[in-house]
Structure 1
Amino acid sequence: MSAPDRPSRQDIADAVTGLGWRLVLGAIYAEVAVSSLADAGEVAALVLAAVGADGQGHVSIDIRADRVVIRLQSAVSGTVTNADIALAEAISSALSERSLHLSPGFVQAFEIAIDALDISAVRPFWQAVTGYVDEVGPSDLTDGLVDPAGRGPAIWFQQMDAPRPQRNRIHLDIDVPHDVASSRVAAALAAGGTLLSDRRAPAFWVLADPEGNEACICTWQGRD
């Protein structure tokens, strides 16, 4: 059962998908298309006005000349909370009043997965060399490390049972909205990839390029 202020992934998706938001790797995202940086600044100002002081520690905004990307997650828990859902609703309402519409846009998040026999031995090296910090709260990551500036991909560590010299031990995970995963998998296969496993789908599909290098397409589904 979910904690009182920590809704399940399904509850989050049900609450925000119809508003144009998507749940990806422990945060909810939406975009507003704009035609200039000045317009992007105005959209950001509307978002900040809509959330007020309640947005502190929850809202981050990426401003570009063609889009504004809005991200919601509690900085304290490292998860999407009921407060984040309420903020998503407030933002959607405020923008709709100005005939501005949220959409999932091109939302995705990258993770680097490192296979290790002794995670406690290798994790400190990767933390030191990247300057990353411990993940704040529980998520889909195992022993997760994250960029303190929120720009780089997350890193997690996959426990190995025995050495695997026959395959690469670092792979990419690409977290996408649940409703675009199938098309992303199909595109990878059409580009020469191979489906190695869909046993855990829709949580993730394991794919490989023509030389055997692996990547996973991941969603929030199948994890609760």
Structure 2
Amino acid sequence: MDGDARLTRQEASDAVAGLGWRLVLGAIYAEVPVSSLAQGSQVAALAVEAAGDDGQGHLSVDIRAQRAVLRLQSAAQSAMTALDIQLAQTISAALTGRGLRLVPGSVQALEIAIDALDVRAVRPFWKAVTGYVDESGPSDLADGLIDPSGRGPAIWFQQMDAPRPQRNRIHLDVDVPHEAAPARIEAALAAGGRLLSDARAPAFWVLADPEGNEACICTWQGRD
């Protein structure tokens, strides 16, 4: 298969299911538990070496004292490609060959959703005030903006049909591995939340805190 070929969400999820990676918000992630920053740096170096030149524009690594989080996605397409799957396989083999474990862990991605009657009117403000940039290609984010440094949550804009003065118009979307969604929802309900809608599940569930502020638990499923 052509390395640039875009994959469906189902294809990407199935391809990495046994490798310790999970599909979250258009990218695949794996967490490697480490005992120190030094070991985290070693994990990053091993992953970069295994990926080679093909890793440029696809692989990123977040290093912390207890874990290194690996992320793969085509930056050029803002999507999963066949090459990303090949890199996941190569990196997994290199790390497990050194006795390291790849686990889905607590991997998640955060989005800020802004409801707007006129997306074209409000989007430039949020782009300017955050210093964010346009995504480079089509993705899970409608009219999405992203942090060019890769640190902040993504922003997307939800088209409103009519004003809703009695409802919050900015909410959080929390994207988690698909098998983690039920536990996250159960925890939110146990903490005093309410389930407002599961009409679009398993793509997302709409929940609210005790005062009605909303958040969505999201997965890749139900979107292809």
RMSD in angstroms over aligned alpha carbons?
Answer: 1.1
Question: How many residues in Structure 1 have an aligned counterpart in Structure 2?
Answer: 222
SS at match of 2:83: helix
C-alpha deviation, 1:63, in angstroms: 1.0
C-alpha deviation, 1:106, in angstroms: 1.0
| Letter paired with 1:115 | D
Q: List gaps (5 residues or longer) in structure 1.
A: none
SS at match of 2:172: strand
| Letter paired with 2:116 | A
Match in the other structure for 1:109: 109
| Letter paired with 1:172 | L
Following superposition, which runs of at least 4 residues in structure 1 exceed 4 angstroms of deviation?
none
CA deviation string 1:83-123 (max 9, x = no partner): 00000000001111111110011100111111110000000
Match in the other structure for 2:148: 148
Q: Do residues 99 (structure 1) and 99 (structure 2) align? A: yes
SS at match of 2:174: strand
C-alpha deviation, 1:77, in angstroms: 0.5
Q: List gaps (5 residues or longer) in structure 2.
A: none
Q: 2:4 touches 2:83 (CA, 8 Å); kept in 1?
A: no
Match in the other structure for 2:217: 217
CA deviation string 1:131-186 (max 9, x = no partner): 00001111111110000001001111110111110101110000000010010001
Q: Do residues 201 (structure 1) and 207 (structure 2) align? A: no
CA distance in 2, matches of 1:161, 1:63: 42
Match in the other structure for 2:176: 176
C-alpha deviation, 1:42, in angstroms: 1.2
CA distance in 2, matches of 1:183, 1:4: 35
SS at match of 2:201: coil
Match in the other structure for 1:81: 81
TM-score, length-normalised on structure 2?
0.97
Q: 2:203 touches 2:222 (CA, 8 Å); kept in 1?
A: yes
Identity of aligned residues (%): 74
C-alpha deviation, 1:4, in angstroms: 7.1
